[in-house]
Structure 1
Amino acid sequence: MPQQPSRWRLNRQKLFRNVHGLFLTRRRQSIALLLIAFMVLFILWTAGFFSWSPFTSSKVVIILATNQGGGVKRWKKPNEWATERSSIENKRRYARRWNYELAVKDCSEKKKYSHEFRESWQRIDVIKQTMRQYPKAEWFWWLDLNTYIMEPQISLDEHIFNHLDSVYRTVEYFNVLNFTVDIPYVDYEQPINMLITQDCGGFNLGSFLIRRSDWTDRLLDFWWDPAMYEQKHMEWEHAEQDALEYLYSQHAWIRSSVGFLPLRKINSFPPGACSQYAGNPLFFYDQKDRDFVVNMAGCDFGRDCYLEMEAYKELDQLLHKKKFWLF
């Protein structure tokens, strides 16, 4: 007859099974907890709670100036909140897709004290602050709240930075302000440090790019000069836009590093903006051409920013056939 295992051996085997089972259970629990933690972090990151990306150090920062405090002279209406949320989420998705940084800047406090802070000039100060906040970034893309990126599958490298050699260096092709084209001592061999567009009213600052450089530091200091503001603010209806146009018209060193993009490259208009140019293909968003960004400039005056934002948001979803899932 076969020898029966001793009670001591049976107890040892039972203890081993219990310990092994407990080890496996704790191991499974640890793996499950790690998976849950990873999923939570992934959800928070994709939702935009973290601006840092573990995969790259971004050379681009998108600056979006908002008024998140609820209002300055009055409380914001529901449609205004919705427009702000849609605009922020649009830039957040784009920044996440290309590992850019998104700096959402609340300007409500600045606007509260606009008699001291010079309301509408705050974008210059915001740019200076953001450059200090992201010391390793190279390019900073300012976007007004009433803009919407329509082609998020295109990176800024593909759309702009890889083609800087084809950027216009003078205003000859479109000179709505009748600038003097030829002024002495302009060195167009200098690198481009600012990319802007022009519309029916002059320089458009709803969407423009500026590069970190000594030239940029100097420009921002000139542009933000209180003495210039105090002397000219009663004459300059468009505030910092008029100031930049004046500096460009007077200083060769500023012209040497400014490049001009066609308006529709980063600033396509909806119907109703620049109405005196209605139908002009230089200005208005064209779905067939899949323009990169639409800028609903002036929608606060006689138009509806919410309806325009929702219309382009729906068009964006239609063009890209987006489906919204958890992951």
Structure 2
Amino acid sequence: MTRTLGSVRPKETSLHRRMWMFFQIAGLLALLLTVYIYGSAVVLKEANSLGRDCIPPHVSEIRENFRPKIAIVSFSDEGRVGLPKLSSPSPRARGFRGLMGMVKSNKISYAKMWGYDFIDARTSIDWSRPASWSKIPAIRSNLDKYDWIFWNDADSLVTNPIIRLESILQSVIGTTFAGDEDCHHSNCADLIVTEDVNGVNAGLFFVRRSKWSMEFLDKWWNMSSFIIEGSNKSGDNDALIHYINSLSPSEMWNHVSVAPMQCIFNSYPWTPTWKSLHRFIFSPSSYWKGAYSNGDFMVHLAGLDDKTEWAANIIQEIKPSSSHN
């Protein structure tokens, strides 16, 4: 049977209409998605002005007798001190290249403002494993000289220097900070961490001087089965998550405090990527608690490749408020 021209045209017209409707719907969805992504970025950047409290208002004033001795400890794995340079540094090391030189003065200035010590612990790096693991001996070798050590990775910087570390400690665990004898009958915690969508983050945390803390650091260091070589990940964070998850409820209660708000000292910049969008859709509360917003204490460039560019932009962004303060 021979098809006539008239019998083909209705089918073609119907197909064209369906295709046109498909492209219209796809274009509308793309527009809505774009608005959603960039609208989310605007909302999250203004989270604090929209009512988010990273530090509860009732602890903004530090108790007069609360004066622990605190050190801020950090290092960068971009250079091998006293050793030949690696011919092929890990992707993680390349990402940190030049970063400490940008953020070190920011942290030293903050430490001097409030009477903390800043320790560049790069000589503590053990090059037999990924350098990120060396935060553990860096903390351990200095802990006996301080009440608290605040560890922060090199890809972080202070964005609101008015917030003191005592305010953070006080908001999470109260005002107990001295030796083990003060923690027999109350939960004063030895380790203070934050959580992101993946769990506990090992980039920024507080450790209290105590017997438990020393044993914890030794056990964490000895979890060598978690070591990952030649990757953006080094395995120390996975080891920490495993260690904390394996604690009994009583030991967790007595020694570890997870801050209720990630943004209390470990905010992440919002990046409009498909991965971030997926996580934001399925875990919006995590992003609300942890997205970097104007007024946050610290920003942590976790998971970002162009860390130096991000750091330079943020330093430029906070300059007016820093100089004003």
**Structure of higher CA gyration radius:** 1
* 2:74 is the counterpart of 1:64: yes
Quote the Cα distance in structure 2 between the aligned partners of 1:251 and 1:313.
39
- 1:315: Cα distance to partner? 1.5
Partner of 1:316: 318
* 2:279 is the counterpart of 1:284: no
* 2:256 is the counterpart of 1:258: yes
Q: Give secondary structure in 1 for the equivalent of 2:157.
A: strand
Quote the Cα distance in structure 1 between the aligned partners of 2:124 and 2:73.
15
Higher-RCO chain (CA-CA 8 Å, sequence separation at least 6): 2
Instruction: Give structure 1 stretches of 5+ with no counterpart.
Output: 1-56, 168-186
Quote the Cα distance in structure 2 between the aligned partners of 1:247 and 1:91.
29
- 1:58: Cα distance to partner? 6.8
- 1:63: Cα distance to partner? 0.5
Q: How many residues align?
A: 230
Instruction: Give structure 2 stretches of 5+ with no counterpart.
Output: 1-66, 176-183
Partner of 1:86: 102
Quote the Cα distance in structure 1 between the aligned partners of 2:309 and 2:227.
33
Partner of 1:218: 215
TM-score by length of 1: 0.62
The question of whether the paired residues in 1 share the 8 Å contact of 2:107 and 2:118 is answered with yes
- 1:319: Cα distance to partner? 2.6
TM-score by length of 2: 0.62
Partner of 2:302: 297
* 2:235 is the counterpart of 1:239: yes
Q: Identity rate of aligned residues, in percent?
A: 23
- 1:92: Cα distance to partner? 0.4
The question of whether the paired residues in 2 share the 8 Å contact of 1:194 and 1:259 is answered with yes
Quote the Cα distance in structure 1 between the aligned partners of 2:245 and 2:78.
36
Please, what is the CA RMSD of the aligned residues? 3.3
More helix by share: 2
Superposed counterparts of 1:43-62, under 5 Å = 59-62=69-72
Partner of 1:200: 197
Superposed counterparts of 1:1-327, under 5 Å = 59-67=69-77, 69=79, 72-73=86-87, 80-81=97-98, 83-106=99-122, 110-111=126-127, 113-114=128-129, 119-131=131-143, 135-157=144-166, 159-165=167-173, 189-225=186-222, 228-230=223-225, 233=227, 239-252=235-248, 254-255=251-252, 256-261=254-259, 262-272=261-271, 275=276, 276-278=278-280, 280-287=287-294, 290-300=295-305, 304-322=306-324
The question of whether the paired residues in 2 share the 8 Å contact of 1:141 and 1:209 is answered with yes
- 1:322: Cα distance to partner? 4.7
Quote the Cα distance in structure 2 between the aligned partners of 1:305 and 1:107.
23
1:80-120 Cα distance to aligned partner (Å, 9 max, x none): 32x32121111100111111111101169523x33xxx543
1:105-161 Cα distance to aligned partner (Å, 9 max, x none): 1169523x33xxx54322112111222xxx33100000111101011122111x212
